Structure formats: structure tokens, C-alpha cells
Amino acid sequence: MKRSILVASLPHGPWNPVTSTPARRPGSVRRTTAIDQRRNGPGQPMDLTATGRDLCTAVDGSTTVVDEITVRAQIDPLGILTAIDADPPVPALADLIGAKTSRGFRALADAAVPEHVEEATVLHQLLDDVPTASLISLYGTTRDLGDDWNMPAESVEGMRDLCAGWIDGGTMLGAFDRTAVYPIPLGPPAPELAAHDDPIGWHDLDPLAPRSIRRRRRLDLIDGDPLELDVYFRDSYRGPEGGEDVLHEYTVTAAVDPGPLEVRSCEATAHTLPWPECPGALASAGRIVGEPVGSLRRKVHAELTGTTTCTHLNDVLRSLAGVAALARSLGD
């Protein structure tokens, strides 16, 4: 069976992509990040451009950039980081050259720039995103190859019951088990997020190049007791000729105790996900309630596993560690 016919026959998850960005509020700080990964063709290296900024909006509406960085890197077809540089420069990043960008990369990155881990900087957020973003970038290659590519059965077995979307007997794996064809999910067209009445609401982003994956984030922290948190996450893909479509998209709202920076409440909403089973992971967001934001990366990695969770939602929850840096900005 042709993959396109198989995918068209299957039900998909929610397709309600976000169409705007909320206005920045006085007394808030906004972190925006993006990782673009462009594959130059099968067997060719991948170019990675990661950008991010923390923008503080004072009560009087004035703004201050408190953290900003651009990272450029190249990853070979085996997933090895072969080059990396940053603006402003971070010489210690050179220690990561030769590392695999999959399993183990986060620990190596933390060891290379421990001060950025401690300060929960934009750079640390970008480096923390590299392994999963690199995995998602393979999606572009599989889309480009079309029916000429299929996931090996042993790879499928290794991911069975990994998350809600990969649940045994679910839409995706059920289709694979019936047909031996791996269904590559599609998504709805990606609406523009920039607000025309707020040109600095997002940091500057170049148009997404063809054959690229973009992971885009927004995290707003609003002063008060409790601190209010509004988080947005989107993975999208632009093909060689077509437009950009959304692969995964969540928002998360949370409340954080301003003293110990512990999570008081947390709720996730699914906007765009590939399979009907994927929203079954939404309740897992509540499992971080009571946790200090500084321990979220460890907790999510260790405890949020299996078919009641989602890899991409986990990445959203991990990013709440950045509240530590954003809360300091509010107090400056």
C-alpha cells in the first residue's frame, strides 16, 4: 500500500493550530526561542540555527532585552556535531564538537556550560532542545523520500509504548502492524504567529527554508502572587515546494509560587497533534504540581514516561525550568 493512501485513510489528532500571539503584559518577561534544522538531502549534513531572547516589559510598557543569543551548528548524517559557534561567542561550546546530538548530548552540554545550566539561560534552553529537535528533523527526510522510505520493523519495536501516540494497538502502530508501512503524519497549514501590532513580540526570525523543521517556543511569565505562566510550543515542517505545516502544538498555563518557585498548578491544551491517542497525555502536565522549577528537567526525564505522556509535551514541561531566569528579570 502507498503511504499517502494509508495516511489519508487514518483518523488524525486535533487540527486547531494557534493563529496569533497574545499581547505582552506590563510587568512580564517573555522568552522566545526557535531551532531551525535544514537537511541538504539524503546523506548530507544538516544545518542548525538556534535563536532566542528574553524580553522584559516593565509596568510602564518600556522593554529591555535581558538575554539573547544565536547558535549555528552543523550535524553530519550520523548525528555527530561537526561545527558550532555562537553570537555572542561562547568558547566552551567547542567542547561539544564530535558529540552525538542524540542520547547523552544534554549531559555533555551541561558539563560544557555549567553556568548557563545554573542560570537557566536562553543558551541552555536551546542546547537542551537539540536532541529532540534533531530527532524530529528526521521527519523532513522521511517526507522528502516519500514511498521510497519505510521505518525498519526493529526501530518500530524499540519505540512501541514510548508515549501516547506510540501506544500498542493505537492508530499509528495498528496501521503499521496491518500493512508494514509506517504512516508519516501530516498536519494543517501553519498560521503566522507574529502580531502586526507588536513587531517585537517575537525575536527576529528568517523565513523557514524549504526542507526544514522549526521548533518554536514562547514562555511568558507575569508578575504577581502567584506568578502566572503562559507557554506555547510548535513543531512545524516546510517541504521542498509546499508551505509550512504544523506537526505538534501545545499551550500550557501554570501558576508558580513566587517564593520557592514551586509549581502550584499546571494544565496543558492540545492544538495540533498527529494521532487521536496523543491528547491522552494532557493530564500528565498535572504531575509537576508541587515541584520546584529547578528540578523539572530531572523529574520529567525520570518519571514522565510511557503511554500517559508525550515526548513533545515533556519538552514543554522541561522548559519551565527557565522560570528561574525570568523571575530574576522581573525582580531587576
Rounded CA separation 16/278 (Å): 14
Report the percent of the chain where pLDDT is more than 90.
80
Between 280 and 156, name the one with better pLDDT: 280
Q: Looking at the chain, how many residues does it have? A: 332
178-181 contacts at long range (C-beta below 8 A, 24 or more positions apart): 179/1, 179/6, 180/150, 180/153, 181/1, 181/2, 181/3, 181/6, 181/150
Rounded CA separation 101/127 (Å): 10
* pTM, to two decimals: 0.94
Q: Crossing angle of helices 122-145/105-112, nearest 10°?
A: 150
Cα 19 → chain centroid: 18
The answer on pLDDT for 148 being more than 80 is no
pLDDT in tens, 225-256: 999 999 999 999 998 877 899 999 999 999 99
pLDDT in tens, 40-92: 766 788 899 999 999 999 999 999 999 999 999 999 988 999 999 999 999 99
The β-bridge partners of 158 are none
Rounded CA separation 29/198 (Å): 15
Between 39 and 302, name the one with better pLDDT: 302
| Averaged pLDDT score across all residues of the chain | 93
The domain locations on the chain are 3-331
Q: What is the mean pLDDT of residues 301-310?
A: 96
Give the best-scoring range by mean pLDDT among 9-18, 186-195, 232-241. 9-18
Report the percent of the chain where pLDDT is more than 70.
99
pLDDT value at residue 42: 67
Rounded CA separation 332/329 (Å): 5
